[in-house]
Amino acid sequence: MALQGILVVELAGLAPGPFCAMVLADFGARVVRVERPGSHYDVSRLGRGKRSLALDLKQPRGAAVLRRLCARSDVLLEPFRSGVMEKLQLGPEILQRDNPRLIYARLTGFGQSGSFSRLAGHDINYLALSGVLSKIGRNGENPYAPLNLLADFAGGGLMCVLGIVMALFERTRSGKGQVIDANMVEGTAYLSSFLWKTQKSSLWEAPRGQNILDGGAPFYTTYRTADGEFMAVGAIEPQFYELLIKGLGLKSDELPNQMSMDDWPEMKKKFAAVFAKKTKAEWCQIFDGTDACVTPVLTLEEVVHHDHSKERGSFITNEEQSMSPRPAPLLSNTPAIPSFKRDPFVGEHTEEILDEFGFSREEIDQLKSDKIIESNKVKASL
């Protein structure tokens, strides 16, 4: 796999960090997740392909253990607010002095500097400060966040993956690691570059919810079907719009011009009335195989069984029969081979990891006795 041989130490956090490390693991990196003793499980459920080490970093001897791990690792991924790692004597100056090749990835909400850098926040807060939230929402309604996907996982976790991979590539030339300041506010803002670059175009000339791409256009929105399900319409180009009109059983010469914004509210009502006359399955029979850009809004249960998903093998099943998306993108020569094992228990691999990193049996036993580490090895059932 592409990241085979890369060793990553992930300090346990919520959603963005675990996702970032899971992507690295999916593509071949060996990931050690360092968790607090006494914690029960990764609430994000993104532990695929990782091993778990339970270690108390608040104890000086626990911090010393982490230093020894990082001295032999390629990447450290930490999710804490600015200044936390420095208080633990685990900042980049110290760890990169021990290991100049270490890539020190810092994944936070607001970044390592600025007046918000030490404040708490969640996806919706980062989305709000990025400017993107102001653009999302229906006409006349409050802005709303599209779940916690944009800031946490796209602007945060995935952007951090990109930073790590670029730093690994650069290290092949310089031989040195570097510090990555990945944060969800700026990552989300960067994702929205298209919005910034097109601000003065006709795409956004109307208030929120009244433009082509934000739900204002009748040909770029969703419609309820007769069975209470939904269809998604994205027929922007004229040739696709014509196929939409044809599939709806309407006549173009009896309708206003596609781009007549004044007529959009009435056109949405007309389209809604037509869509409400057939079920989702019936609309699929009409539009599947056409370029009308009309697709069913699938539930998570439905998408797994959709023909396109099955034809491409888009979903995988682990040993616990839990389904999830296959890693993307597909690499032709070195594709991801995700683990099919269950997620690790907290501290399940503590002793084997320390043994691999050169800790003696006596050191491990003492750390365990002093509650610096915790071991929760799975006992075999006879």
Model confidence pLDDT, tens digit, residues 208-220? 999 999 999 999 9
**348-368: b or e for each residue (b if 16 or more CB lie within 10 Å)?**
bbbbebbeebebeeeebeebb
pLDDT at residue 380 tops 70: no
Q: Which residue ranges does the chain devote to CATH 3.30.1540.10?
A: 230-296
- Single pTM value for the model: 0.94
pLDDT at residue 41 tops 80: no
d(CA 15, CA 1): 24
pLDDT at residue 371 tops 50: yes
d(CA 52, CA 10): 10
Specify the residue for token string 């007046």: 115
Specify the residue for token string 């249960």: 301
pLDDT at residue 183 tops 90: yes
Pair 345, 52: CB distance under 8 Å: yes
Q: Please give the pLDDT value at position 39.
A: 85
Active site residues: 122, 152
**Other CB atoms within 10 Å distance of the CB of residue 103:** 27
User: Strand 179-183 relative to strand 50-55: parallel, antiparallel, unpaired?
Assistant: unpaired
Pair 17, 9: CB distance under 8 Å: no
Pair 63, 88: CB distance under 8 Å: yes
The residues, any chain, with a CB within 8 Å of residue 176's CB and separated by 6 or more, are 100, 101
Pair 219, 233: CB distance under 8 Å: yes
pLDDT at residue 377 tops 90: no
Mean predicted confidence (pLDDT) in 186-194: 98
The pLDDT > 90 percentage for the chain reads 95
On the 0-12 / 13-18 / 19+ scale of CB atoms within 10 A, 128 is: middle
User: What are the helix and strand counts (H, E) for the chain?
Assistant: 15, 12
Helices 123-130, 184-191: inter-axial angle, 10-degree rounding: 50
Give, rounded to a whole angstrom, the gap between the first and last alpha carbons of the chain: 36
CATH topology for 230-296 is: formyl-coa transferase, domain 3 (3.30.1540)
Question: For residue 109, which of 25, 184, 210 has the smallest C-alpha distance?
Answer: 184
pLDDT, one tens digit per residue, over 50-62 is 999 999 999 999 9
Which three-class secondary structure state does DSSP give residue 325? strand
Q: Please give the pLDDT value at position 382.
A: 46
Adjacency order of strands within the sheet including 103-108: 179-183, 103-108, 75-78, 7-11, 30-35, 50-55, 373-374
d(CA 180, CA 104): 6
d(CA 338, CA 47): 11
User: Which amino acid is it at 166?
Assistant: M
Residues linked to residue 234 through DSSP beta bridges, in sequence order? 220
Q: Which residue ranges does the chain devote to CATH 3.40.50.10540?
A: 7-192+319-374
**Cα→Cα distances 282→227, 289, 307, Å:** 10, 13, 16
User: Which amino acid is it at 58?
Assistant: K
Q: Which CATH superfamily is domain 7-192+319-374 in?
A: Crotonobetainyl-coa:carnitine coa-transferase; domain 1 (3.40.50.10540)
Mean predicted confidence (pLDDT) in 263-285: 97
The pLDDT > 70 percentage for the chain reads 99
**Other CB atoms within 10 Å distance of the CB of residue 299:** 9
Confidence of residue 379 (pLDDT cuts 50, 70, 90): low
d(CA 366, CA 362): 6
